[in-house]
Structures are given as C-alpha cells and as structure tokens.
Structure 1
C-alpha cells in the first residue's frame, strides 16, 4: 500500500512517470514497479500514454479537483512571515523518495542574494531541508531509500550511508539541517522540517550567499525558522499516519 501511495504522489507531482523512474524511486525492480503501476491503471489512478509514460488517471484527477488548496498556497503565509523575519531568500520544499523539489519561495532583496530555485530537484541528502526531512525517518527507511547508494551530486560532502546517518543524528539533536556549499558553490542554507501535511513531507529553508555569513546573526535566523516551522505544525498537524512520500 505504501509503495502504491508513493507512486500516486509521484504522478501528482511530476505529471508523468516511467517504469524505470518508478522503480528507482521505490528501490524495487522494474517488474515490481510495472505491476504497481498496472494496479493503479486498473483503479483509474493512472493511465499509460505515449512513450510508455504513465500519467494521472481520472480517479487521481478527481481527487485533486475535490481537494483543498495546494500545499504551497496553504503554507504561503508562513513562508511570507519567515521572509519578513529573516530578510533572506526562503523556500518551501517537498520530499518524494530520496529527492526534494522546491515548490515555492520568496527571493531576498539584498543586492547580493540567492535566487529562487522553484521547480528544481536535488538529492535530499545534500540540501538543508532534505536533511531535516530525512531526519524524520527511521534509519531503516533511509537505508531503503538509498539501497543503490547515494546519488552523485557536484559538491557533495556526504559520500556514503554511514556518513549520512551520522549527519542525521546531529540534525535530530539540533532540529536543523545545514547545507554549506553542498548543493551548489557559494550557497549556505538552513532548513527545518514541518512534517507531513496531507501526505506531503515538507520543509522550510532560508538561504544566503556564503560570503555574507559573517554579517548575519545566524542564531536569530535559526530561532525564527524553528518558530515558524513550529507554528505550521501546530496549525496543520503532523500527519505521520498518512505519510506517502517515502
């Protein structure tokens, strides 16, 4: 059931999915991924289109239409408040499997700033919010997500699962994920998880150019970040029982 729900989430987020992509995200053989996708087609949650790509089916589209506002719209007031407090670029990201996607953001007005990354995808382990969300998972879940090893990424500083687990222990203690020029050169980010909201695992982050670190009160920034994330959790709950983005 969990794997099928993960595929439904992937279809909703990406709009299309191949058997190879599904297998990679789930950490299963293509034959298993194909069987799961076929089941979704039978239940009309997916349809197979051109180039053997699977797309959202009538049942999934009906659910999306009947549902409430998108996550980005619901979290936008909190993202705006975080931006008002820290004055740096802020993002909302969601996790699907071992990958994160930036779904919304507000860009800083500083002359020297980090631009928006909305729509971009990266491995979770090399981003601040991704680390914060991975820290929500059990070690066995993290191992399953990275059964084939950590995906390579330019600038990566975590090279194996053992190092990732060690890093995530620190994230759990501090409630913060830190990305110091791991996702891209010259960029430092701090992120915190807001848990699962309507089945989507999400985090908020603030990001700035590394060269400006010495001019920023990081303690104040992290305090504001943690408080806003706590307010989100209080407002929406942390629906771990409905998590689908493993």
Structure 2
C-alpha cells in the first residue's frame, strides 16, 4: 500500500532557513510535474533515509495529489529512485559495510514509496559513478549528499562524455544537497510522515551501534542551481 492512503499535502510545511518565513511546495520543487524522475544519491544507508525521507514523501504526496485530482481509483507510484553505494563488501553504512540481499537493501526505500524494488539501484559510491546513474536514468530532480564531491578515489572511473553534461543541463530541474550545514529551505513533516521515516530508519539499521533516531520533524536542504552543480562536478566529464 502506498502512502497516498496515509499522507496529504497538509502534512508538510516549508520554511526558508535563513529567515524562518513560510515557503511553499513550489519553492521546494519548482515546475513540478507528476512524471518527474527523482533520485536520492545515497552514500550511507542510514543517512540517506534520515536526511531525505521527508523530502521524498513530500514529493510523493504531490504526485498522488495529481492523481487524486483526476478522480477515480489509481494504482501508480512516483518515478523515484535510490542510487545506493554498494560494492563487493556490501552496502555503505555508518559502521562497516554490510552484505544485504536486494530485498533488505530496498526495504527502507520501499517504505518511502521508492518502489518497486527495482527502483533501488546499486552503484559505486563515487561522485562520477553516481552522476553516471543520474544521467543514465534520465533524472530530473536529485537529492545529493553535500559531502560527495569529485576526488582522488575516482582515478579509475571513466569520465562521462561531454554530451552527458549537456543533457544533464537540459534534463535536471532541481538539485538539493542534503546533510548540509548551510540549508536554504526546510521541509517540516507532520506525525504520519515522521512515523514513516522512523520506520524506514528501523529497516536501515543493520549495524551494532545505537539505532538511528529522528531528532527533528524537519530536514534542511541546500538548493543549488543546475549550472552550479554541474560546475562542481566538472572533473567528472571528459575534457
């Protein structure tokens, strides 16, 4: 059962981080369309769920609102994906890498309506390879961990062709850095959304440390321009 039976638009509020003034969904996701393809780039399983859960659910609810306005029954899910850092040692977590079967890897995301399980994609955790997934899956909106930048660990990665940068520039509508120390906009969630994200965190906890808990009912994101994002990723492209 998808979250359309649990959440509604009034379960989310938006606020500018610097002023505390109210914002709206249009400020969070400008030019939204129900066919937008959204991806979470996840380099740590728990952190990805913790920091993007509210944002994912807010966009999923906007998707269902469009279907509800059309009337009648529906069975559909938003075009949302999770690109998760997995290598031969397992999925990246706050502790050691953990070997999970695909169902267990996808479980935290399925609870956030990143479904079916085929929407959870395993990928190398470098900026270049995650950007390659964004390109290959023709993503329009991306939640990107602020700390993931091109670096020396990508020496063996094949650069993306220059035309990939041009196509990304055409296709991307919005880029949100999560786990940011300088957020520009906050998504505040009501109790039903908080419960869903907490349940996803329980699914994501596979280490021996204390389970990840929600400290806030909001998440902050730093919105950057598509041009600015691609400039930061410039070394991922062939010269």
TM-score, normalization: structure 1?
0.29
TM-score, normalization: structure 2?
0.29
Which structure is higher in RCO with an 8 Å CA cutoff and minimum separation 6? 2
